[in-house]
């Protein structure tokens, strides 16, 4: 905590507006590992997702691929546009997949952070690798984006810190062995060594909330969805990198 207090004294006015990917803060070796499909464990999850996408549910119902033929083409770019409003509801990719699971496959929801949902999300996001993040933040999405921004800028928790304090003000500083990045969402679901697994963006957000002793919101709930839209809006134009690797 003392260390954080010292860091905060260093927190200058928000740094330049340019948002860079969290991958820019990885060690060169880890960055090479991330780019190497045979060495990045996230790709194992992508393969699992691809397999699940083609498989009919045991209890019956259509396989995803039954309705989404040639996903390499038909779903390429889709992930880059989430979160987005679907029938007036803000949905991220996980939510959209669950919607198809329940309404079109007629199966029980996988559940947030379940291995199945993580694998499918990682697979579909990986189909957008290299394409620029392209969420809509105007029109009906605007109020959600603004709610996300307000969350990002609000001081919270026992440490009374906003997301912005760290991810705009302390970028490049070390904190508990990590280098603080701009908090870009471009690599999620990401394989994190500390988790020994792939995890969702909302899992990462819960870790940041806990880090400042603030309320941890439910993964998939409205607070983190709005925050996800704001983060995606900040990262607009950066390439999708799922599955990223993180410490
Ligand atoms: C006390 C400083 C601190 C605060 C406050 C904080 N974070 Fe973080 N955050 C970190 C650290 C450290 C990491 C891990 C290193 C990194 O990727 O930046 C991290 C990681 C992240 C990442 C993953 C970035 C990537 O490329 O993998 C996102 C997204 C993020 N934070 C968003 C937020 C949001 C949104 C909030 C506010 C709810 C927040 N953080 C509050 C320190 C903080
Ligand atoms: C019975 C047909 C059907 C099945 C089965 C199905 N989907 Fe869908 N899916 C659709 C239709 C139709 C849409 C788009 C229509 C809409 O707006 O609801 C859609 C939309 C989507 C989208 C949003 C695409 C975009 O461009 O934004 C994703 C992602 C998706 N489905 C993933 C899946 C996954 C993963 C599965 C398997 C768990 C699945 N779907 C199963 C019919 C299906």
Model pLDDT for residues 125-151, shown as the tens digit of each residue: 999 999 999 999 999 999 999 999 999
Q: Answer yes or no: do 25 and 51 share one domain.
A: no
> Measuring CA to CA, how many Å separate 104 from each of 97, 101, 109, 124, 222?
10, 6, 11, 17, 23
Same domain, 52 and 68: yes
pTM of the predicted model as reported, rounded to 2 decimal places: 0.95
Which ligand 2 atom minimizes the distance to the CA of 104?
1
CATH number of the domain to which 99 belongs:
1.10.760.10
Are residues 203 and 150 part of one domain? Answer: yes
Span from the CA of 167 to the centroid of ligand 1 (angstroms):
6
Q: Are 205 and 98 within one domain?
A: no
Domain boundary among 102, 126, 150: 126
Instruction: Give mean pLDDT in consecutive 10-residue pieces for the chain, a chain of 247 residues.
Output: 57 64 96 97 98 93 96 98 97 98 96 98 98 98 98 96 96 94 98 98 98 96 98 98 97
CA-22 nearest atom, ligand 1: 26
Domain that holds residue 163: 2-36+134-246
């Amino acid at each position: 905590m003392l260390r954080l207090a010292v860091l905060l004294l260093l927190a200058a006015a928000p740094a330049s507006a340019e948002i860079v990917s969290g991958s820019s803060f990885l060690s060169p070796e880890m960055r090479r590992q991330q780019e190497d499909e045979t060495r990045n464990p996230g790709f194992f999850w992508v393969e699992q997702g691809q397999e699940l996408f083609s498989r009919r549910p045991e209890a019956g119902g259509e396989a995803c691929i039954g309705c989404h033929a040639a996903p390499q083409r038909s779903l390429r770019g889709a992930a880059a546009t989430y979160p987005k409003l679907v029938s007036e509801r803000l949905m991220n990719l996980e939510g959209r997949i669950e919607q198809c699971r329940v309404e079109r496959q007629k199966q029980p929801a996988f559940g947030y952070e379940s291995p199945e949902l993580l694998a499918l999300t990682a697979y579909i996001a990986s189909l957008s690798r290299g394409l620029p993040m392209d969420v809509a933040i105007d029109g009906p999405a605007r109020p959600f984006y603004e709610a996300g921004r307000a969350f990002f800028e609000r001081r919270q928790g026992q440490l009374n810190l906003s997301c912005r304090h760290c991810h705009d003000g302390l970028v490049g500083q070390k904190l508990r062995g990590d280098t603080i990045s701009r908090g870009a969402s471009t690599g999620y679901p990401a394989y994190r060594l500390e988790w020994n697994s792939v995890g969702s963006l909302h899992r990462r957000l819960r870790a940041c909330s806990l880090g400042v002793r603030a309320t941890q919101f439910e993964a998939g709930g409205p607070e983190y969805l709005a925050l996800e839209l704001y983060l995606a809006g900040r990262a607009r134009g950066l390439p999708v990198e799922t599955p990223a690797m993180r410490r």
